[in-house]
Amino acid sequence: MLDILNGLQQCFERKERAAVATVLKVEGSAYRREGARCLILETGSIVGTLSGGCVEGDLIEHAREVINTGIPEQIRYDFRPEGDLLWGLGVGCNGALTIWLQPFDPVRSPEQAEKMILSYRKRVSCSRAYLAGMVVESKDPLQVPVGTETVLRERGERGERSRRLTTGLESAVVQGVAVKLFIETVKPRPRLVIFGAGPDAVPLVRGAKTLNWHVSVVDHRQDHLNQPHFMEADKRVAVSRGEYSQFSVNEETYVVVMTHNYELDRILVGQLLSRSIPYLGVLGSRQRIERMLQKILFDGVNLNEQMLEKLHSPVGLDIGAESPEEIALSILSELVCRKNGRNGQSLKFRKHLLHVRATDGVIP
């Protein structure tokens, strides 16, 4: 989503037209699920992907029409056995996609273009999940234009929309007008805090940024934080040694401890285990973490099952990682597994659908 926002901002500054493609509905197997987006520039360049190349070539032609006319369009691709013969692309994805193309025109419709940018900026910067609705059909386009976006409910709110909603298309009434909404749960960017600005943290920062995570690096050595390879982190935080025991992390933040200093790691583990965070990874051997836990118990901390469930040490998935880059890949894979509620097994052994069906419209 961040790359699409950046692309929209560049188009606005350069007064260049574009179209945003959104997957509204998926039937069967597909490369990406509902809510996936890409930005198609007037030049034919694409930011992001929807199908790994299966539909993008044809989609560019539709996007040119949408850009020229300023009229949104819904397109359906059916690549299931008989439908694939109809399209003649031979991709064999065994699924069907409904895609909505929305024009972005900073020249003819600057106000609407600005609203789109603000909407994507909210998506990228939000600190809590919310349920969003985008109008894809309207009985009165003058009063409620197609493309209008609205926040239906934020996390923690209750009301008439507290019933279970699924990601997808749904009929609704907005400002007294009958519309069809594309409803989806917008979630904050995952946040990762890395304690330790050593050389092995470099590929971890780089990999997390590639995944569009918000990354903070914390260390007591300012000269380490000032190294050029940490400049791509969103935040670099210098602390004194004594401040590690009071360092606070936000709820829902993923944490990896890799200071390579036993005492600092023990202090961090001792105070982070009681925090409401989903993941605490600690670099080092099993014997090392067991020694830390024994000391924490000796200090009077009651380690319950909930605390230990979030603790991952040795950190990462078992992929035989040896180099810093492989270790970073192992850690990132475990982070993604934890975020998505998966176990990291090979997909060849998965008996169910690769992607969880869209029933995540409830904001707890």
| pLDDT tens readout for residues 19-44 | 999 999 888 777 788 899 999 999 99
Nearest to 226, CA basis, from 238, 215, 216: 238
Give pLDDT < 70 ranges for the chain: 52, 81-94, 154-166, 352-364
Question: What pLDDT shows up at residue 96?
Answer: 84
Across 89-117, b (16+ Cβ under 10 Å) vs e yields eebebebbbbbbbbbbbbeebeebbeebb
Strand order in the sheet with 73-78: 46-47, 37-41, 18-28, 95-104, 73-78
Task: Specify the CATH number for 191-347; select among 3.40.50.720, 1.10.260.40, 3.30.70.100, 3.40.640.10.
Answer: 3.40.50.720
Tell me phi and psi for residue 28, to 5 degrees. 75, -150
Asked whether 289 and 282 are in contact (CB, 8 A), the reply is: yes
Question: What pLDDT shows up at residue 353?
Answer: 62
Written as one letter, the residue type at 67 is: I
Domain ranges of the chain: 2-110, 126-186, 191-347
Average pLDDT, the chain: 87
Across 12-47, b (16+ Cβ under 10 Å) vs e yields beeebbbbbbbbbbbeeebbbbbbbbbbbbbeeebb
| Segment 122-126 long-range contacts (CB within 8 Å, at least 24 positions apart) | 122/186, 123/1, 123/5, 123/186, 124/1, 124/2, 124/5, 124/189, 126/186, 126/187, 126/188
Question: What pLDDT shows up at residue 311?
Answer: 96
